[in-house]
Chains A and B, each alone.
Chain A
Amino acid sequence: GDSVTQMEGPVTLSEEAFLTINCTYTATGYPSLFWYVQYPGEGLQLLLKATKADDKGSNKGFEATYRKETTSFHLEKGSVQVSDSAVYFCALSDKSRYSTLTFGKGTMLLVSP
């Protein structure tokens, strides 16, 4: 079945550091890929998405590129802020199963001033 693997955290960075959170996936067909963010005590919010190979999703300074050849969708940001501290989830959507989402386990990001 489908699966998503993302790097374990926590990832601890200083403000203005460069961020990479790795995400790889296994899926049949051509899934859509997503990054969701969960701030402390809150539900999930869509951060960015990509629906086909070589698409780049971007939002709030975060970027991720759908790489079919390496089955990856790594999240990057050039300069993190304290307010970016949250848990980040990589996910894929299986259109053949009514768009059910398969999530990675999440990566906690802690940014210190």
Chain B
Amino acid sequence: SQTIHQWPATLVQPVGSPLSLECTVEGTSNPNLYWYRQAAGRGLQLLFYSVGIGQISSEVPQNLSASRPQDRQFILSSKKLLLSDSGFYLCAWVTGSGGYTFGSGTRLTVV
């Protein structure tokens, strides 16, 4: 079956610390993968998407970066977190029918 795993579920990090969020998918190959962020009181914002290994498209210039070291692995990173990086981060992939499957999300609080 096709599943998506995202971890950790919650994270509290101090300002200036690094970040690494991981997302992996199972049961598919060469998926399109996405990172979205939901900030408090705002909708979902597309951060990055990838259509293949090593390929990253960035939608919004910011303090974050993404990498895709393997076909089914998508990593969101930051070298130094800002308070404004707090939010709910969601990984997603697109199924053959064009629908999205979202991970369970990571709630990041930067303090």
Contact = CB atoms under 8 A, between A and B. Distances in A.
Contacts of A106: 43-44
**Do most interface residues of chain A lie in helix, strand or loop, or is the interface mixed?**
strand
B102 A44 contact: yes
Given A44-B90, A98-B51, A100-B49, A51 B103 contact: no
Interface residues of A, number: 23
Contact of B104 (A42, A99, A103): A42
Interface of B: 6, 32, 34, 36, 42-46, 49, 51, 57, 59, 90, 92, 94, 98-105
Interface of A: 32, 34, 36, 42-46, 49, 51, 89, 91, 93, 95, 98-106
A98 to B, nearest CB: 5
A89 B43 CA distance: 8
A99 B43 CA distance: 18
**Do most interface residues of chain B lie in helix, strand or loop, or is the interface mixed?**
strand
- The listed residue with most A CB atoms (<10 A of its CB), out of B34, B99, B101, B104, is B99
A64 B105 CA distance: 26
Contact of A101 (B42, B100, B103, B105): B100
Contact of B43 (A43, A95, A103): A103
A44 B43 CA distance: 12
Contact of B32 (A32, A89, A91, A99): A99
A103 B102 contact: no
